[in-house]
Chain A
């Protein structure tokens, strides 16, 4: 599947869980859309609200934050992250960006099916909504 005409999807994957999880998907040779770019992060708690908004400003069609969830090795970081993402959703709403473009999820080191499901779901969202801001024009 070539997804070159679709807006890119940014995946922030935690070093402890989701990034090795993405590698596990690779080891299983399971395919998923290629308009994806996975960035390894110690903890997504490091990104301020504006990081997400600027990504959308630059043309990123969707962002999936693949965290460790409650198994986060940084005690308390997941809770901080979840609160911040709530604020990002509010800011997205103010800007007329669909909340579907941002997804906070937890992926473990062997969660192959969950990983594929999340990526495919976001790929459908960006295919439907087009480049960020497209939903404003449609509204």
Chain B
């Protein structure tokens, strides 16, 4: 293996071992680890502290650096996610480049999982490996790229509208791109919102009016992103507007015009801000950040699922909400011309599907996740029916009820209090729906085994079955492809880490707002939108962007210009060969580079590497680990 490195000053590594109270030192002989670390040739000092993250602990590092004893630092403590940044900060305070730091994880990966001499031996090996890497570290500088104070929000549902407004309030210019002629997304197709009971239409109108009247927000309806390129701070997007084509849009527009719109709100469609384009037009944008708020689509039951599409008295919950919104109070609830005296609500339709048990036609991927909002939405619908049509008998057929949010449980309690009958079925034995034979018309019979009654077989006669359909990801696949975003097996867009880097996909400068990421309710979607906005705003407001330096770097002297790395590169435009008359050498665009290292793996001369994560560094770690293994046996 090659040595690598190339730093100018000889490495003087300081090793600092944390007791973490007793979390580490109760199981790891920290004195022995200190001695073993101190005996390594690259190590200048090895010390211990009860809490390295405390001020006195950090001061040890600062003092050693300031007094010239060390120029590389290893702290052996908890997981790097907790304190790597803390210790890099200590290096910076002492005037040392913060990237001359390596972390050894001897709590989560040693003292909490191993005990006895084995724990001490492993801690020593991890420290030795970290020292080996530290000795080869080089100073790195954050990558600085200019950023345009302009953001593009894709999708004008509640999350997109909220994101646009939040960004504009920070003084950032916003383009809001919406594929339909209307603003409001799926929110516009709801009636009242839990847990406050406010009207969805009022929220849509309010958000839409404010967005449309804001001087920094430009709205394009009937629009989509046709092409995307560039990188954080400097994305280039091609927006294409097309005349509306779907039957639904054309009907809604005709209805709108007959009511004297635009502008204005059409129930269950959204806010129509202006006449849609009559011919295709293209807008080229230069934008600093992209916020995806592409939302979700309701799951559409397949023909025959619980009788849907075959029995007219089987409807989805979104359909019922729209039907109820159009009904006068007083008489019974009427669906498809039939009065409804009793109905059954069925949960988990198109959600929590189980491999081997659920086999949807057409081989679509299963929706194995819980769609989260449908339980409370179902309970809310049950309560509204009890409120407006109090004589209606309501059965709630569920596998489980997950009224998880703040205030949601009240809906469940209130529904129980008002006499909604809760029946539970097992996933492998779902209710069977059929038309009533004879009798007074097209009533329905539901056969089910109620597990709350020990599996008792029941036959319920109802006038209506309502399917609480789940959520599927919205139309983001093409955009995800263009922007190189990862999607989960379920089709929703992926963030890097739900706690450490929420709403951030791996592509810097792109943010996720709302249900494009997972099923969530309107409140959660707006919270995600605000999170995305804060991150995008923080990024754009300085006029430049600083990126982590962990991207590919080329050793121009070693590079032979063979181009293998360019071929292996996963991100278009991140790597290219210098063009003649310059000598062919690989050139990295650090703003585009993902830092995956696919290039490093194919470079024969080892001329390209991800800064801070180089192959020679890993090889040195392996050598140290093996050497430590031998040492551990002697110990």
Residues of A in contact with B (beta carbons under 8 Å apart): 1-5, 8, 10, 16, 20, 22-23, 25-27, 29-32, 34-43, 45-48, 51, 54-55, 58-60, 70-77, 80, 84, 109
Contacts and interface: CB of A to CB of B under 8 A. Distances in A.
Given A26-B107, A60-B626, A42 B595 contact: yes
A109 B613 contact: no
A23 B622 CA distance: 20
A46 B494 contact: no
B592 interface: no
30 contacts: A2-B117, A2-B118, A5-B633, A10-B625, A16-B497, A20-B81, A20-B497, A22-B108, A23-B79, A38-B105, A38-B109, A39-B621, A41-B618, A43-B595, A45-B598, A46-B596, A46-B613, A47-B615, A48-B600, A48-B601, A51-B615, A54-B1, A59-B626, A72-B486, A73-B496, A74-B486, A74-B594, A74-B595, A76-B570, A77-B594
Contacts of B79: 20, 23, 26
A39 B618 contact: yes
Interface string B441-455: 000000000000000
Nearest to A80: B598
Contacts of A40: 80
A46 B610 contact: yes
B505 interface: yes
A46 B598 contact: yes
B402 to A, nearest CB: 19
B31 to A, nearest CB: 19
Given A8-B629, A54-B622, 19 more contacts: A23-B108, A27-B112, A36-B122, A41-B618, A42-B595, A42-B596, A42-B613, A43-B597, A55-B622, A59-B626, A59-B629, A71-B486, A71-B488, A73-B486, A75-B484, A75-B485, A75-B570, A75-B571, A80-B601
Which 5 A-B residue pairings sit nearest by Cβ, starting from the closest? A46-B597, A26-B108, A73-B506, A34-B118, A74-B596
B550 interface: yes
Contact of A23 (B81, B117, B488, B601): B81
A43 to B, nearest CB: 4
A8 B119 contact: no
A25 B484 contact: no
A2 B625 contact: no
Interface of B: 1, 79-81, 105, 107-110, 112-119, 121-122, 125-126, 129, 484-486, 488-489, 494, 496-498, 500, 505-506, 550, 568, 570-571, 594-598, 600-602, 610, 613, 615, 618-619, 621-623, 625-626, 629, 632-633
B595 A37 contact: no
Contacts of B625: 8, 10, 37
Contacts of B623: 58
A54 to B, nearest CB: 6
Contact of B497 (A10, A74, A109): A109
Contacts of A29: 112-113
Contacts of B108: 22-23, 25-27
Nearest to A31: B113
A48 B600 CA distance: 8
Contacts of B615: 46-48, 51
Contacts of A25: 108, 113
A46 B621 contact: no
Interface centre among A2, A46, A54 (most CB of B within 10 A): A46
Given A26-B79, A38-B105, A41-B613, A77 B122 contact: no
B109 A26 contact: yes
A54 B606 CA distance: 15
A87 to B, nearest CB: 11
Given A4-B632, A22-B109, A70-B489, A42 B597 contact: yes
A35 B126 CA distance: 11
Given A48-B602, A58-B626, A77 B596 contact: yes
Contacts of A30: 113
A26 B613 contact: no
A69 B496 CA distance: 13
Nearest to A79: B570
A25 B505 CA distance: 25
B622 A60 contact: yes
A136 to B, nearest CB: 19
B113 A43 contact: no
B619 to A, nearest CB: 7
Given A54-B619, A58-B626, A31 B595 contact: no
A75 B598 CA distance: 11
Contacts of B126: 37
A25 to B, nearest CB: 6
A46 B105 contact: no
A5 B630 CA distance: 10
B486 A4 contact: no
B633 A77 contact: no
